Structure formats: C-alpha cells, structure tokens
C-alpha cells in the first residue's frame, strides 16, 4: 500500500534528477568562451603525457594574470610542447605561444557576430537542459501513477503531481536565470 513516504521519495528523486541537470548546465556554461580569460576554457583539454591522456590542470599551473591572458606553467618543462599541441588540437579557437618554460594564450576580443553565435549556443544548451528537467518531471509523474495503482489516493496523486510541477517550474526558472547571466557575460564588451 502506497503512502505519503512513497510520495516524498518520488519528489526527492525528482529534485535530485533536476539538480543534476542544473549542475550539468553550469559545467557546460563554463566552457562557453566569453571575452575574458578563464582557466575553465581549458577544462577537458587532455595532453598526451608519456602516452597517457592527462588533464591539463594536472600537468601545469593555470593562471589569468590579466583579463585577456592565460598563463600555463608546466610542472615538467618537457611537457610544454605536448601541452601546446593539445591546445591547438582542442579546437578552442586560441593560439598558444610557447617560450620553452611558460605557455601564454592571448584571448582575442570577440566579434559582434561571434557573440551572437555564442548566445545562440547558450540558448540551445538551455533548451536541452530544460528538456532534462521535464524528463525528471515525466519520470516522477509515471512513478506517481504507479503508486496510485498500488493504493495511493487519486487526490493525493494530484497533489503530488502539483508538487512535481512546482519543482519543474523552479528548476526551469534556474535554467532561465543561468542563461540570462551567461548571455549578459557574453554580450559584455
């Protein structure tokens, strides 16, 4: 026989699924290049270090001494050329300069057209993550219908569905807020 604790469990699962979607969205947004230098731009760059793909941040110290420059100081100077090759191969649209001990990446200012492309990209990512939030809602409602067949009252199910919808609205608003913040950051000159 289904009861309130089962409903709470379904709501908690829905909240966790939606929270994971928001975390994923935040992580993806850090990879969208703005006009400012950020070491997050290099997240996901793997360097071939002694025939092992190794994350760049494990091979070097990454700093942003000014808003248009990223400085990479390899812990092992022999890895500098491999780091440079990995950055060039990563298709980030930046060109590193290597002086043998330190690698510098100058971040060029974004053109107006590129800014608009990035805004479109951010909006598409936002829509994809809103779909993820709605999938969490769909799964929760399916579980509630299963609980109803296990003895949960129809009124209780409808109340729980309203709670699921409230959760969905809350997390969709979070996606919209993060999107607006990133758009503002991208369009900032």
Report how far residue 189's alpha carbon sits from residue 184's, in angstroms, rounded to the nearest whole number: 10
CB 72 within 8 A of CB 60: yes
Do residues 47 and 94 both lie within one domain?
yes
- Cβ atoms < 10 Å from Cβ of 61: 12
What token pair was written down for 140?
A: 């929760």
Q: Which domain holds residue 48?
A: 39-106
How confident is the model at residue 127, as a pLDDT?
A: 97
Q: Which residues pair with 71 in a beta bridge?
A: 63, 104
CA dist 30 to 26, 82, 87, 122, 163, Å? Answer: 7, 24, 17, 11, 31
Do residues 131 and 172 both lie within one domain?
yes
How confident is the model at residue 180, as a pLDDT?
A: 96
How confident is the model at residue 153, as a pLDDT?
A: 86
> Of 80, 106, 132, which marks where a domain is finished?
106
Instruction: Say how many Å lie between the first and final Cα of the chain, rounded.
Output: 60
- The dihedrals phi and psi of 72, each to the nearest 5 degrees, come to -115, 120
How confident is the model at residue 189, as a pLDDT?
A: 67
Reported as a single tens digit per residue, the pLDDT across 53-75 is 999 889 999 999 988 899 999 99
> Of 59, 77, 106, which marks where a domain is finished?
106
CA dist 31 to 53, 129, 134, 139, Å? Answer: 20, 15, 24, 29
SS3 34: coil
Q: Which residues pair with 48 in a beta bridge?
A: 53
Do residues 82 and 131 both lie within one domain?
no
How confident is the model at residue 104, as a pLDDT?
A: 93
How confident is the model at residue 36, as a pLDDT?
A: 76
Do residues 164 and 182 both lie within one domain?
yes
Do residues 82 and 130 both lie within one domain?
no
Reported as a single tens digit per residue, the pLDDT across 10-29 is 999 999 999 999 999 998 88
Question: Which residues of the chain, if any, have pLDDT below 50?
Answer: none
> Of 57, 84, 106, which marks where a domain is finished?
106
Report how far residue 39's alpha carbon sits from residue 87's, in angstroms, rounded to the nearest whole number: 12
* pTM reported for the whole predicted model: 0.75
């Amino acid at each position: 026989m289904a009861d309130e604790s089962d409903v709470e469990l379904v709501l908690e699962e829905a909240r966790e699924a939606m929270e994971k979607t928001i975390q994923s969205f935040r992580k993806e947004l850090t990879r969208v290049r703005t006009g400012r230098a950020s070491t997050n731009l290099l997240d996901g760059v793997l360097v071939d270090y002694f025939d092992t793909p190794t994350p760049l941040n494990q091979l070097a110290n990454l700093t942003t001494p000014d808003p248009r420059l990223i400085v990479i100081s390899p812990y092992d100077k022999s890895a500098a050329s491999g780091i440079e090759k990995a950055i060039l191969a990563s298709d980030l649209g930046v060109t590193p300069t290597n002086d043998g001990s330190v690698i510098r990446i100058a971040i060029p200012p974004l053109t107006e057209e590129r800014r608009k492309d990035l805004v479109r990209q951010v909006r598409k990512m936002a829509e994809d993550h809103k779909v993820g939030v709605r999938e969490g809602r769909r799964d929760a409602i399916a579980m509630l219908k299963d609980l109803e067949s296990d003895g949960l009252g129809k009124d209780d199910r409808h109340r729980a569905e309203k709670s699921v919808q409230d959760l969905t609205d809350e997390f969709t608003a979070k996606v919209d807020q993060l999107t607006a913040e990133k758009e503002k950051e991208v369009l900032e000159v």
